[in-house]
Amino acid sequence: MTISLRLEKKLDNDLSVYARVAGKSKSEIVRNMLREGMATYRVAATPWELGKDLFGREGSGEGNRSVTRKTLVRQKLHAKKNRG
């Protein structure tokens, strides 16, 4: 695939000198630098990706807690109210 790229004069001169010293074409230099840059590029992780190895780790063993959450909260509030 061919792309066109505009460089400021100094950058173009620096690239020409670098390519001449390295004995490579400017295209080859740019391709290599893009590969190196892309190899270190990381997409920002989502909250899920950051914590996925932690989710469910300390589970209650009760698979229905999200379904019965209102009942559980009501029971805890009732128990707290009856204590005091």
Full domain range(s) for residue 37: 7-53
pLDDT at res. 4: 92
Give dist(CA 75, CA 61) in Å, integer: 19
Whether 79 is covered by a domain: the verdict is no
Residue with token string 């074409």: 25
pTM score above 0.75: no
Across residues 40-63, what is the average pLDDT?
A: 77
Q: What is the mean pLDDT of residues 60-73?
A: 79
Cα dihedral 58, 61, 47, 67 in deg (nearest 10): -150
Residue 25 lies in a domain: yes
Helix spans in 4-68 (H): 9-22, 26-40, 47-51
Residues 33-58, mean pLDDT to the nearest whole number: 82
Residue 65 forms part of a structural domain: no
Predicted local distance difference test score (pLDDT) of residue 58: 66
Please name the amino acid found at residue 7.
L
pLDDT-derived band at 67, boundaries 50, 70, 90: confident
